[in-house]
Amino acid sequence: MASSAVTSASPAPSSTTPKKKRSSFWLYALVIAAAVLGVIFGFIFPHQAVSLKILATGFVNLIKMLIVPIIFTTIVLGIGSIAKAATVGKIGGLALLYFIIMSFVALVIGLTVGNIIKPGEGLDIGEMLNSGSSSASSDTGTIQDFVLGIIPDSLFAPFTDGEVISGLFVALLVGFAVQGMGEKAQPVLKVVEYLQKIVFRILNMIMWVAPIGAFGGMAALIGATGWGGLGSLIAVMVGFYITCALFVFLVLGAILYAFTRVNVFKFLGYLGKEFLLILATSSSETALPRLIAKMEHIGVDKAVVGITVPTGYSFNLDGTAIYLTMSSLFIADAMGTPMSIGEQIGLLLFMMIASKGAAGVSGAGIATLTAGLQAARPDLAQGTSIVLGIDRFMSEARALTNFAGNAIATLLVGTWTKEVDRDRVTKVLAGELPFDEARFEGGE
């Protein structure tokens, strides 16, 4: 398969610039510092701390303002990306099928673990979070009301009334309509692409208010619940890290060994420097150029790498999927209104689509979580503020899991399409053919 086809079908996202890395680091540090100060303030001045929830509510409302535009632009462009990936034949088809299956598995695992550990149970902070806010009721009416509610009054209504499900419906309609136009739709897709850049630029601007929201959210939570709230936050973080580790080493490791006979510990050890880079930046995007180079070095065909890796960075977000479902259940339990099985299934289906917009942009994970809650249970959307303070602590596990999933996916797709040199894989993992680090010296 020609490499030119690969390039046109799945362009790799640009690597993060040093300026963006520094900006991301300072935002990361500020959010953590604000969260810690919020905890301290909550313990020292509990009564005053509860009133600071307005800071967290304001931040969540800023995020909610962008939910429908994010979903619309992401879905429209995402459907276009799927069409392009499919045009490169068996490689793209297998990769997309695998990504869909593993996203579903990750979401189910997140729901399962969340239902088992229930770290937010007993906090009952729903009244505190929703008092004085305009959050919607959890009563969604009959099934008929729900179905009819999906259809907006006009094509542009979701952008003005903020209805997430209607916005998703319109995005799917526009996406498939654009897809059916073929090459004639390229100018439309270019406009949507520029619109997405503007929306995400606004989101990045809003994220600089995140430290204020994190301070208010953590202070209000600790002020209202004391040590119980802090223990619940630690429990959900530890549970998330353990779940991600089990998913990578047991689930993905078993699949990797079953089809390639490659030991997952040796394979991920080969990517050790990339994991350290991700750990330092909390973003798997920073390791993208090195992942492409290393997967080619280990013996996977350039065509497979060129299709699978960039597509996986948008469509194969296993860590993010686990985070979204676990956090949603934690918020529901903490607010004293647990999700029913039907609501969890609806959340899972929504997250299957919406999670594709949580890649590579600071704050997109929080935006997607808020969107999922707004769609499944609008009364829980304000609960996003209680995980804002620990979101940055969980971002490392998300990024590491996403990266591991994409690396394993690339080797699997290469194996299934018989586009991998198995002897070279063995020699590289044995240390007989070391990777040339010189090509990445000087900040490449």
pLDDT in tens, 301-344: 888 888 888 878 777 888 888 988 898 999 988 888 888 888 88
pLDDT surpassing 90 at residue 179: no
* CA–CA separation, 101 and 89 (whole Å): 19
pLDDT surpassing 60 at residue 357: no
Residue with tokens 């350039």: 302
Least confident of 110-114, 163-167, 281-285: 281-285
The pLDDT tens digits of the residues spanning 31-71 come to 888 889 999 999 999 888 888 888 888 888 888 888 888 88
Give the number of other Cβ atoms within 10 Å of residue 105's Cβ. Answer: 17
Please, which residues bridge with residue 152 across strands?
Answer: none
Question: Which residue in 50, 85, 98 sits closest to 251, CA to CA?
Answer: 98
Token pair for residue 379? 């009364």
* CA–CA separation, 133 and 197 (whole Å): 30
Based on its alpha-carbon atoms, the radius of gyration of the chain, rounded to whole angstroms, reads: 22
pLDDT surpassing 50 at residue 135: no
Our CA dihedral for 186, 190, 193, 198, rounded to 10 degrees, sits at -160
> Which domains can be identified in the chain, with CATH numbers?
27-440 (1.10.3860)
pLDDT tier, 444 (very low <50, low <70, confident <90, very high otherwise): very low
Question: Which residue in 376, 386, 388 sits closest to 338, CA to CA?
Answer: 376
Residues in the chain: 444
pLDDT tier, 1 (very low <50, low <70, confident <90, very high otherwise): very low
Least confident of 9-13, 394-398, 406-410, 431-435: 9-13
pLDDT surpassing 50 at residue 174: yes
CA 409 vs. chain centroid, Å, equals 17
DSSP 138: S
* CA–CA separation, 413 and 85 (whole Å): 14
Least confident of 31-40, 167-176, 260-269, 401-410: 167-176
